[in-house]
């Protein structure tokens, strides 16, 4: 009740929601690629029925948006490719603008997102959540390409530390980004959450200003902290990679905690 | 001639030499584990004949000292296990002192160095240059052990960025240490170069004070910078992982550059 009271004032102004996907809609991994989090399928349906604008804002880079959306549809989610903001297309825009030819250290299933990009004679490295492609040999290869450049350019599709799959926690792209940064004494340019530009393009696609948008995510830094830096309110769900010690985070404090997406939607829709 | 002049003054006081091994004595990798760098076998022999104290100070953690020394002997080097200062025994001392039980992310050939250490129910992670053991699965496992601790303890056998093998540059333990540090928001305790305690124990084993010792290495930060912080003079060889841009390093400046170990020994022995 206290929580609902707190949120009432500002939740009333909301016109659009940004939802993180992994850890909010579903837990990834295992057979079929994951399982929906209880109440989330229905929660997405209720958001759409409410007339609120909705955008799925994900750092997942283990598949093309097409494949990713198909997986979620298979779990029962009402979602389409046009509703998804993801790092790979944002990276492609940057590569084209700056005539960069990437060496890709990414998941096999993400490669088609870069189909139109010239990859001959690379002058940068793009690292995504390559998962099983993070082999010792592939990491050494990306490192050698990078260290061989006069001025190394490293583009990272996110800076997440880890995520939760059905069989446990996994290191995310940020850890491998740090390994390459350190080895080459270079700072990566991060595309995806928590980059300001990434949230801003999601807001632009919705046509909603940050003051009227709420981000809902399980990652205290990349979802909550990133969205707040853009002027949005942000809720942390206690699902996915959420850990109780997140509630003592030294720098980031969510505008509210909710047990899961279903509860967040309950509270928000009651204010409208 | 200028270089010899520069070094003359302080090289005259020298009583002991510390030699880095990989990139100074030999280039590692390929058949037989590596090839000696031209003139280095003879240079070690000349140091021993001169009466100078000698200590091999290595961060290599891909093998036990026994196996490592055998490999070097096979290349013709006059070297024994008792002359080698290496990170694994230093780590074992720390583990015993603090009752730490390690989860090991190290090379298979290093495991025997930890034979006497209790590894059940781990309360810390020890990472070394695991090479082919740096698989996606092994990194995730070490990460899960670490993130599962109330206060994660990460001990790293060095903080090297990369090294050169006969088939090219390879990421060193420091890169993987950084990945785990970032994922778990923890700072590793580094055993091995450039840790002050590591150089100090090598000096103690020689019985030579830092002012009378010279470190010779190919790594601008871990060999040269580390030794200088202990009060030693340090030379950088232009072999191994040396790169011309090292000569513009923002923080570390060797007391002199030499083309290789043979040249360093030429100059030093002429001063005696």
Query: Over pLDDT 70: what percentage of chain B?
Result: 97
Non-local (6+) Cβ contacts of B88 within 8 A are B61, B64, B65, B106, B110, B113, B114, B128, B157
Set of chain B residues whose Cβ sits within 8 Å of the Cβ of A144: 168-169
Contact B134 A136 (CB under 8 A): yes
Q: For residue B32, give every residue at least 6 positions away whose Cβ sits within 8 Å of its Cβ, in sequence order, or none.
A: B71, B74, B75
B169 chain-A contacts, CB cut-off 8 A: 140, 143-144, 147
Is B169's CB within 8 Å of A131's CB?
Answer: no
Q: What is the pLDDT of residues A193-224, one digit of tens each?
A: 999 989 998 999 999 999 999 999 999 999 99
pLDDT recorded at residue B4: 59
Chain A residue nearest residue B151, CA to CA: A245
**Residue bearing the bigger pLDDT, A29 or A254:** A254
A140 interface with B at CB cutoff 8 Å = yes
Average pLDDT of span A71-96: 95
Q: Among A169, A178, A185, whose Cβ lies nearest the Cβ of B179?
A: A178
Distance from CA of B68 to the nearest CA of A (A): 22
Tell me which residue in B172, B174, B183 faces A171 most closely, judged by beta carbons: B183
Q: What is the pLDDT of residues B11-50, one digit of tens each?
A: 788 999 999 999 999 998 777 788 999 999 999 999 999 9
Q: What is the pLDDT of residue B9?
A: 72
Strand runs labelled E in A106-218: 124-127, 154-157, 162-165, 168-171, 189-191, 213-217
- Compute the distance between CA of residue B152 and CA of residue A40 in angstroms, rounded to an integer: 33
Which residues are within 8 A (CB) of A170 and not within 5 positions of it... i.e. 6 or more apart?
A: A131, A162, A163, A164, B140
CA separation for the pair A20, A199 (Å, rounded): 11
Q: Which residues of A touch B136 (CB under 8 A)?
A: 131-132, 134-135
Could you give the residue ranges of the DSSP H alpha helices within chain B? 2-11, 40-50, 65-74, 87-97, 136-147, 173-184, 196-206, 226-229, 261-271
Q: What is the mean pLDDT of residues B240-269?
A: 95
Question: Quick one: which of A246, A241, A62 has its CA closest to A161?
Answer: A241
Whether A167 contacts chain B with CB within 8 A: no
Chain B residue closest to A146 (CA)? B169
- Domain locations in chain B as residue ranges: 13-26+37-59+193-270, 88-190
- Is A149 near chain B, with CB under 8 Å? no
Fold of B88-190: Rossmann fold (3.40.50)
- State whether the Cα torsion B122-B124-B126-B131 is positive or negative: positive
For residue A1, what pLDDT is reported?
A: 47
Give the per-residue pLDDT at A60: 87
**Is A55 strand, coil or helix?**
strand
The answer to whether B144 contacts A169, with C-beta atoms less than 8 Å apart, is yes
For residue A216, what are the β-bridge partners?
A19, A235
User: Quick one: closest CA in A to B160, which residue?
Assistant: A183
Asked if the model's pLDDT at residue B251 lies above 80, the reply is yes
Q: CA B236, CA A243: separation in Å to the nearest integer?
A: 47
Residue A263 and residue A269: Cα distance in Å, rounded? 10
Distance CA B226, CA B252 (A): 9
* pLDDT category of residue B231 using cuts at 50, 70 and 90: very high
What is the predicted pLDDT for the residue at B1? 46
Evaluate if residue A86 carries a pLDDT over 70. Answer: yes
Residue A2 predicted with pLDDT over 80:
no
Pick B132's closest partner by Cβ from A134, A136, A175: A136
Residues of chain B positioned with their CB less than 8 A from the CB of A143:
162, 169, 171, 175
Determine contact: A181 vs chain B, CB below 8 A: yes
Nearest to A162 among B132, B175, B183 (CB): B183
Lowest mean pLDDT among B24-33, B174-183, B187-196, B214-223: B24-33
Q: Which residues in chain A are contacts of B170 at CB distance < 8 A? A: 140
Share of chain A above pLDDT 90, in %: 86
Q: What is the pLDDT of residues A5-62, one digit of tens each?
A: 667 677 788 999 999 999 999 998 777 788 999 999 999 999 999 999 999 999 989 8
Residue contacts between A and B (CB atoms, under 8 Å): 77
Q: B48 touching A, CB under 8 A?
A: no
pLDDT of A227 above 70: yes
Which residues in chain B have Cβ-Cβ distances shorter than 8 Å to A168? Answer: 140, 144
Beta bridge partners of B26: B22, B36
pLDDT tens, position by position, A130-169: 999 999 999 999 999 999 999 999 999 999 999 888 788 9
Summarised one tens digit per residue, pLDDT across range A94-132 is 999 999 999 999 999 999 999 999 999 999 999 999 999
Question: Does A172 contact B at CB distance below 8 Å?
Answer: yes
Which residue of chain B has the CA closest to A164? B144
Give the ipTM.
0.82
> Quick check: B161 contacting A, CB < 8 Å?
yes
Q: What separation in angstroms does the CA of B38 have from each of B19, B24, B44, B261?
A: 16, 10, 12, 9
Residue B176's pLDDT is 98
Residue B167 has pLDDT above 90, yes or no: no
- In chain A, which residue's Cα lies nearest the Cα of B184? A161
Nearest to A183 among B139, B171, B184 (CB): B171
Residue of B nearest to A175 (CA): B179
Q: What is the mean pLDDT of chain B?
A: 93
Is the N-terminal amide bond of B194 cis, ω within 30° of 0?
A: yes
Q: Which residues contact B35 (CB under 8 A, 6 or more apart)?
A: B26, B27, B75, B166
- Give me the architecture of the A13-26+37-59+193-270 domain, per CATH: 3-Layer(aba) Sandwich (3.40)
Q: Give the gap in angstroms from C-alpha B136 to the nearest C-alpha of chain A.
A: 6
Sort out which chain B residues have CB atoms less than 8 A from A171's CB and list them. Answer: 139-140, 143, 179, 183
CA-based nearest distance B106→chain A, Å: 13
């Amino acid at each position: 009740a206290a929580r609902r009271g707190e949120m009432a004032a500002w939740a009333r102004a909301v016109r659009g929601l940004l939802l993180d996907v992994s850890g909010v809609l579903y837990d990834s991994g295992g057979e079929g690629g994951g399982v929906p989090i209880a109440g989330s399928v229905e929660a997405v349906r209720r958001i759409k029925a409410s007339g609120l604008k909705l955008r799925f804002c994900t750092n997942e880079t283990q598949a093309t948006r097409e494949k990713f959306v198909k997986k979620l549809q298979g779990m029962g989610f009402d979602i389409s490719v046009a509703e998804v903001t993801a790092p790979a297309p944002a990276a492609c825009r940057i590569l084209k603008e700056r005539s960069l030819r990437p060496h890709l250290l990414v998941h096999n299933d993400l490669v088609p997102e870069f189909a139109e990009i010239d990859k001959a004679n690379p002058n940068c490295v793009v690292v995504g959540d390559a998962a099983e492609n993070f082999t010792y040999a592939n990491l050494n290869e990306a490192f050698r390409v990078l260290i061989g450049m006069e001025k190394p350019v490293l583009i990272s599709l996110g800076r997440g530390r880890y995520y939760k799959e059905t069989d446990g926690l996994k290191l995310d792209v940020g850890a491998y980004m740090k390994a390459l940064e350190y080895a080459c004494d270079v700072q990566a340019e991060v595309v995806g959450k928590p980059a300001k530009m990434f949230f801003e393009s999601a807001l632009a696609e919705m046509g909603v200003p940050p003051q009227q948008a709420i981000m809902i995510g399980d990652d205290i830094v990349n979802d909550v902290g990133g969205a707040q830096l853009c002027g949005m309110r942000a809720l942390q769900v206690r699902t996915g990679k959420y850990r109780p010690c997140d509630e003592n985070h030294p720098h980031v404090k969510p505008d509210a905690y909710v047990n899961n997406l279903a509860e967040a939607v309950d509270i928000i829709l009651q204010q409208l």
